[in-house]
Amino acid sequence: QSTWGLRILFSKYFFFISVKKAKVMSNFVRKHLVVIQHGMWGTKADTSILAEQIINQIPHSVVLNSTANQFLNTYHGIDVCGQRLVEEVKSFLAGCEPNSISKISFIGYSAGGLFCRYAIALLDSQKIFDTIQPDHFITVATPHLGIRHSSNDPVGRVWNKTTNVSHFYGGRSAYQMALLDYSGNN
């Protein structure tokens, strides 16, 4: 037997999640783990509606709505937050029945997308994806290219000056998003 996944439109953020066939082995169903990571200053409550919808609408899904980086813990840097997310995912997987998770997807909102991206690279280097198939990586409003602006216009120059003090309002994470942690000549 096989069950086809659904496409869901989460109307607030307008993105799609597509889930492919879930493999069914006799009475044992391997599950799809969906890891959700909120953004700066956030909590799992910020993404609870999304987590609920995934659980209710997608058969054979399991959701890990991350609590590893809540409130001021998002200040510690993208690498530190990504490492915390890895530890939370590994701990979650350790609590699951062996071979019960067949796929893993990540959804990150804002800075949570950067934390997920870092975590995915770490999980890959730790060979987690040798046994669990990575399926989707979805980010919403994530500053993949940083938060600096072109210095050719006055607004961009003012913004860039304010991001020089970003560590005061966002810690090391904001400093990294402002691309101020680069130590090269440029």
First to last CA, the chain: 58
Q: Each residue's pLDDT tens digit in the chain (186 positions)? A: 333 333 333 333 333 333 333 333 345 678 999 999 999 999 999 999 999 999 999 999 999 999 999 988 898 899 999 999 999 999 999 999 999 999 999 999 999 999 999 999 999 999 999 999 999 999 999 989 887 766 677 776 676 666 555 555 667 887 788 777 766 555
Q: Within 13 Å and on the Cβ side, how many CA atoms surround 14?
A: 1
Q: Which are the catalytic amino acids?
A: 110
pTM: 0.77
Quick one: CA dihedral 67, 72, 42, 33, positive or negative? negative
Q: Within 13 Å and on the Cβ side, how many CA atoms surround 164?
A: 5
Q: What are phi and psi of 112, to 5 degrees?
A: -60, -30
